A and B are shown apart, each in its own frame.
Chain A
Amino acid sequence: MNFLKKLVPQVALAEAQLLSRSSIHTSAVCCRVQSGRYRITTKRNRPLTYEMANPPHFIGHRKSWNSWNTSTLEDGLRPSQTAIEDVFIRKFMTGTWHALVCSEVIIKRQHNTIRIAALIRQAITPRKMYFLIGYTEELLSYWMQCPVTLELQTVGDKNDVIFKYI
């Protein structure tokens, strides 16, 4: 929220200007500078995945969206519920697959189905993975009240997903 605090005087100024005379605000939007970007460490040892390495303005060019749904289109249904549910799904996934998820959790909604994709580390036996798959699909479908499918891919080592260090 810090950036909002910094913005307050500017916003007040802009509003005052807007009220006094109509003009176009031409400076860059501050909130776009911060989100979805990672700070460079002094030792240059912060691992980034491909997804993390690309800042938000590359969405649609070099990388893709993490949530796929139509709720924010015109006449889209349940925009706020969808966002909250997506947060819940992400928390549920990273908690249930504890220390196993090596990527962002991608959530795709089509009709009444939710498909959840992620990269999982091969740290537990396939048998346990199948148990978790069945558990996650079923519990999430009880929660969302629609069919939920997991589409997981596994990686042998968590270093496999590291794209670069900054």
Chain B
Amino acid sequence: MHGRRGLSFYLLAFFFALFVLFLYGPTITIAILSFQGPQGGLTFPMNGVSTHWFGELFKQQAVGDIWGSFRRSFALGLMVMVTTVVVSVMGGLAFRKHFRGSGFVFYLVIGSLIVPSILISLGVGILFNQLDLDVHWSTSGFGSQLTWTLPFGLLIMFAVFNRFDSAYEEAARDLGASPWQTIRHVVLPIIGPSLIGVALFGFTLSYDEFARTLLTAGSYNTLPLEIFGMTTSVTTPVLFALGTFTTAFSFIVIGLFALLYWLSNKRRAIGKD
């Protein structure tokens, strides 16, 4: 297997390149088309190059409440992110206790992953309706999104704790550390970089969530709901400009998390020397 690269390598590499093109091609296409000239349409050819459609985004009345929905999605993403990190770490630590009934909790987590989103949307909608509560993005929307982000957070924590060497904890305990001190000064620093991964899942999955937020966001739209509303009414490249804008935002967020992860790993590597 480690000899000269055979024909199969080049065929597979070509297949992989095609797949990456398939994955990113459409996104790159709309990124280009969002710079259409003012007279341009939804497809090629380009009718000049301009930032006209990005300008349209900033005119509030033109295409709905984009900035309001962006602010809400951003705030909701942060709320979901923090909650996902805290609850996943606690849950991950809990599972290490091998407590009785952990099987039930485990299946609850897996169930959360496989229940179709529309059931969460419908169920939470009905529940709030029956309890005479108003659905709002920060309450019902927040909870519904957690049913999607928490399983991912916990799966990451499972993977992290599977590789965790409990000798560190035993050493801390032998040196007289209390359980809380052990977690605070030994466990958390070791799992720290993985928490950045959990946070990334929490924020981005919330920021882009649609199906679970549909019936649970109430009268104030999140950004994906706003965008979906636009698809039926807007037929100009302003749609692409918005798409490019939020995708660029997602890439920036992913890049920031990657940078944080890299920095925290590097710091740890230096600390080890």
Q: Do A and B bind each other?
A: no
Interface of A with B (CB < 8 Å)? none
